[in-house]
Amino acid sequence: MKTLKQAKSKSLLILIAAIIVLCAGFIIISCGLGPQQKIELLDEGNYAIDFSSASTSSSEAIVGTVWALKSLANKDLPSLAGTEFTIEAMVKSKVAASATDDGTTAWDETKLNGAIFSQYDSGGVIMWVKDNEPKFGIRIPTSGSTNDPNNTYSVSGGTVEITSGGWTHIAGVLVNEDHSAVHAACSAGDGSESEMPHLDIYINGQFKDCATTDYHFAVAPTYDVNKERMGIGQLVATKPYGYGEYTKADFEVDSLDITTRFEGIIDEFRLWDVARTKTEIANCWNKELGIEGACMRTSDLKIYWRFNDNTGALIHDFSGNAFNGSKKEITISSVGDTDASNPKKPHIPEGGYYPSTTPASWSYGWVTGYSF
């Protein structure tokens, strides 16, 4: 009998040891944390993606973009329509010291410009940088025009600028609660401090500003092609076949458009379907998210790209939801430019630059040494 008990005891110890080994080698939320998902992940160290390393020439603009695709995930992407949400990313400028402003665009080429995150056309969500200033906003269709560039509600980081030589963490939050008692800086008398919902922006873990949404939540993009993809490092909106050619007025944001080159590095992208609190952002902005503790991955985290893969074109999702990204070159034809007001904007043919579901090779872009 004693021998039988000892055998059972050894079997139990072996079982416990096996579970511990599995938890160490995989993201296993069935061990008690976060969403129910088990995925083998690549984590090669402290890497990020340098979008400025994409090549350009006189005949075409090749812009590096990371895509989350419905077809790649084989399920619907997280919806940001009608709900609270949070978008976070680490950003670093790589604009060359020798850069000059040619004066032909609405942005200054000596400063960082372009999208950090975008999923939009006449409606949707955008986080971007305009002349070194980080911004976050939502777009709502307006009556009489589904492609009105003036229907974007946004909040900016104010005097904080993204400059070369250091990392900046940006968190954009759409929150549906009164923050007038939490964020005294929002008491500007315009009603935005008590409006629900409204936009908040945090820089390096610190609250910076809030702004009105005119009582709107975000809405989904109009076209199915844009509902089924999210982009990092580029304004990615497009029209599907049958809806005509791309024009600058259709999809510009803050006078930026699809051709605005993002001369910078992006790291630690996180998308949550909850409004992260001031304390949560302050405590975790400069930490990777783990599977336990104050900065843990929870079921509210829908996409988490560490960009630590260091090889190939596939970006692994550490949220446990398998929304892996496709690191993809996007080629924009320069034939048939019809926009005389912006000679640098090429004509975009119908269906142009829509990525395939198979990640293309993109050997460049991997860099190391982010700030935490």
Name the residue ranges covered by the structural domains of the chain. Answer: 1-32, 39-368
pLDDT digits (tens, 9 = 90+) for 261-305: 899 999 999 999 999 999 999 999 999 999 888 899 999 999 999
pLDDT digits (tens, 9 = 90+) for 297-355: 999 999 999 998 888 778 899 999 999 988 765 544 433 334 444 433 333 443 444 44
pTM tops 0.85, yes or no = no
At a CB cut-off of 8 Å and minimum separation 6, what does 165 contact? none
Contact 153, 212 (CB under 8 A): yes
Given a cut of 70, whether residue 232 has pLDDT beyond it is yes
- The whole-angstrom separation of Cα 83 and Cα 80 is 6
- The whole-angstrom separation of Cα 69 and Cα 347 is 24
For a pLDDT cut of 90, what percent of the chain falls above it?
Answer: 36
Given a cut of 70, whether residue 135 has pLDDT beyond it is yes
As a whole number, mean pLDDT of residues 136-148 equals: 72
- The whole-angstrom separation of Cα 303 and Cα 86 is 11
- Pairwise pLDDT comparison (332 vs 88), residue with the higher score: 88
Among the ranges 55-69, 175-189, 280-294, which has the highest mean pLDDT value? 280-294
- Pairwise pLDDT comparison (235 vs 5), residue with the higher score: 235
- Which three-class secondary structure state does DSSP give residue 265? strand
pLDDT band at 25 (very low <50, low <70, confident <90, very high): very low
Q: Residue 104 has what pLDDT?
A: 86
Radius of gyration of the chain (CA): 22
Given a cut of 70, whether residue 156 has pLDDT beyond it is yes
Return the CATH class of domain 39-368. Answer: mainly beta
Given a cut of 60, whether residue 56 has pLDDT beyond it is no
- Which three-class secondary structure state does DSSP give residue 1? coil
